[in-house]
Amino acid sequence: MINDYGRKAKILKDNDANLTGDDIREGLTAVISVKLLEPQFEGQTKTKLGNSEVRGYVDSVLSEGLSTFLEENPSVAKAILDKCLMASRAREAARKARDLTRRKSVLESTSLPGKLADCTERDPSKCEIFIVEGDSAGGSAKNGRDRNFQAILPLRGKILNVEKTRLDKILANAEIKAMITAFGAGVGEEFNPEKLRYHRIVCMTDADVDGSHIRILLLTFFYRYMRPLIDGGYVYVAQPPLFKITKNKKEHYVYSDEELAAYLDEIGRGNDVVVQRYKGLGEMSAQQLWETTMDPSRRIMKRVKLEDAVSADEMFSLLMGDKVEPRREFITENANLVANLDI
């Protein structure tokens, strides 16, 4: 019916494909009242009516009523068709973008914008990939890593906030395409953890507000479009040191302000003590980055877990979604809890 009206009104061109049911139903809310003597439902949840004869009546009444409505309200009909067309174009763009990300191997990709430095090991269970921000940190990580089992993927700036972006635009983003291709397991409904090329995916960002923001954006993308990564325990967050303390040419690293205070109380606060605060991973030498953050025998990493998927989903939507008012209320209610604001 919608397709027939669209072609009759010249909104759908002759060479345009028909709109699908999903295109038309996207964003649609409908309330239908049916009075039936002996209703039969499918399943215990009773979410679907099982009386097949009712469908014919509903289709007939809806078709006649909607056809009349569209004819009598051409401006509304055009708005409905425009929205359906937008959904159709987005669906087709997303399909094409997904096709572009399907590669038999990373080696077939000719333009990885993240400049992946792969490892030589081919057993995924022994491999790990570090996602770092910028070429500076990427250079230190590449030089400091163990290339046998550690891969490095530098990203340029912050990735898209996927809570606010349609799938076709998400899959067209260069940094996201680089991650999808490097991981090798697909994306969205087609994600297959058995094809993962690395069983440890490590977010290694700076220990500041920008680094935290990038990490949250990455976790949001993983949660929404690569959920099995988190469910399977493949995602980790690196814990780079925040301070380096030097005394008598002896270096010591600490990872928080509290740890710094405790260590200074232990060794004293004389003139021979030098405290350096790291603003970014790029300030570390390759050797320092290896010793503090990448060496499996000494590093500290946190595995990302979702103990409560429902509350996590709500929090992601609240903090990263497109509704401003709930986020403003959250910030207002929790502003007094901020102890160390890096601005």
DSSP letters, 38-102, are S--EETTTT-EE--HHHHHHHHHHHHHHHHHHHHH-HHHHHHHHHHHHHHHHHHHHHHHHHHHH-
Best CA proximity match to 141, nearest among 107, 117, 111: 117
For residue 30, the tally of other CB atoms under 10 A from its CB is 6
Please say if 210 is a catalytic residue.
yes
Please say if 208 is a catalytic residue.
yes
Catalytic residue chosen out of the listed positions 118, 128, 133, 291: 133
C-alpha span between 77 and 2 (Å, rounded): 9
Residue 132 falls in which region: left (phi positive, over 0), alpha (psi -120 to 50) or beta:
beta
For residue 329, the tally of other CB atoms under 10 A from its CB is 11
Catalytic residue chosen out of the listed positions 26, 210, 231, 283: 210
Best CA proximity match to 100, nearest among 167, 5, 40: 167
Please say if 206 is a catalytic residue.
yes
* Bridging pattern class, strands 150-155 and 128-133: parallel
**Whether the Cβ atoms of residue 184 and residue 195 lie closer than 8 Å to each other:** yes
Best CA proximity match to 245, nearest among 258, 227, 264, 266: 264
Q: Find the length of the chain.
A: 343
Place of tokens 């260069």: 174
Best CA proximity match to 175, nearest among 111, 114, 108: 114
For residue 160, the tally of other CB atoms under 10 A from its CB is 16
Catalytic residue chosen out of the listed positions 23, 118, 163, 206: 206
Best CA proximity match to 170, nearest among 179, 141, 102, 68: 179
Positions marked active-site: 133, 206, 208, 210
